[in-house]
Amino acid sequence: MNVATLLRGIAFLTWLAVVLLGVFFVLQTSRGRAIKNSQSIIIIAVVVAIVLSSVSAGLVFINPEERGVVISAVAPKGYREQALQPGLRWIIPFAETVVKYPISRQTYTMSIAPEEGNIKGDDSIEARTADGQKVLVDASVIFAIDPTKVTQVHITWQDRYANDLVRAVSRGVIRDSVSQYGIEEVYSSKRLELVQGITEAMSKQMEDNGLVLVNFVLRNISFSDEYAASVEQKQIAEQTAQQAKFVVEQKKQEAEQARQVAQGRADAAVIDAEGDAKSRLISAEAEAKSLELIAAVLKSNPNLLTYQYITKLSPNIEAMLLPSNAPFVFNLPQVGATATGTGE
């Protein structure tokens, strides 16, 4: 409780005491029990009540979130040009009054939901897009009275600024802004641009009328039932197309994977074939070199072939037939003995 309110309470109690004293003195006088100096007491009580009432009427306490517009019977314009600042202030008793205005932030909401807006029921903003589609816009306007223009607001709007200014300006600006965009731009690609345009237009108009736009909130955009159904069908078609595209890509990946596997097998087969060919070539080259060496050895020692032939014979063979130009049959052990005897 501030001092001004306290003084007004005391002044009221003083006047009540004056009345009660007057009634009491009258009753006592009617009973023949007049109280001495009763008139003086009444006069003193009345004077005290008048003083307290005058002082309390001249004191005004302005809260930090308020500003006070002084309506004056003695000022040339009928009001003080400067609003009262926060604190305990003095005005001319009974010649001036104060109208307080809040400078804290306020929110005005227009919504399709019955209980969410400042006005009960469907208070959404109906607008038409550039391509003729109807949309319903839910919005909130966060604003405040400019502390330096409180007097201007009082003169122009009084306490009607919320309904007559904020509501009217916001609904008009929203309709004008929506009409500049197509339906798909409103709810998708250019929604942010739409909000920025509305904010700029509203800020200018509210500033001209003594208000400050803190923020514009585009809460929701609703469409007609027909357009909502068409959007749903379009989304279903797009999802189906995306699914088909995914299946095609999956088949392509599977085909590419199969091709790569086949290519790998073919490459492996080629590598195996090349390895086998190289192995055969190396074997053939080795065999050819071996034959060349054998041929060279036989050329210098012809009897080596006969020796190799004999050593490869089975141990059970005891006789052999010599070539046609020497048709003799020898007993192998005897050949071995003869050879031994000849050696001896």
Say how far apart CA 137 and CA 175 lie, in whole Å.
9
d(CA 63, CA 158): 19
Q: Which of 7-11, 212-216, 280-284 is modeled with the greatest confidence?
A: 212-216
Q: What is the pTM of this model?
A: 0.61
Structure confidence by residue, pLDDT tens digits, 129-142: 998 888 999 999 99
pLDDT value of residue 160? 94
**Per-residue confidence band for 319, with pLDDT thresholds at 50, 70 and 90:** low
**pLDDT of 309 strictly over 70:** no
Contact 286, 293 (CB under 8 A): no
Q: Which of 143, 149, 147, 144 is nearest to 210 (CA)?
A: 149
Tell me, what's the pLDDT at 338? 44
Confidence of residue 114 (pLDDT cuts 50, 70, 90): confident
Cα torsion 69, 148, 209, 203 to 10°: value is -140
Write down the CATH number for the domain with range 106-223.
Answer: 3.30.479.30
Average pLDDT value for the chain: 83
Is the predicted pLDDT of residue 306 greater than 90, yes or no?
A: no
Q: pLDDT of 36-77, one tens digit each? A: 777 888 889 889 989 988 888 888 999 999 999 999 998 898
Segments making up each domain of the chain, as ranges = 3-102, 106-223, 229-312, 314-344
Mean local confidence (pLDDT), 163-174 = 94
The pLDDT score that the predictor gives to residue 342 is 43
> 132-136, 199-203, 234-238: lowest mean pLDDT where?
234-238
Q: Do residues 128 and 120 touch, judged by C-beta distance below 8 A?
A: no
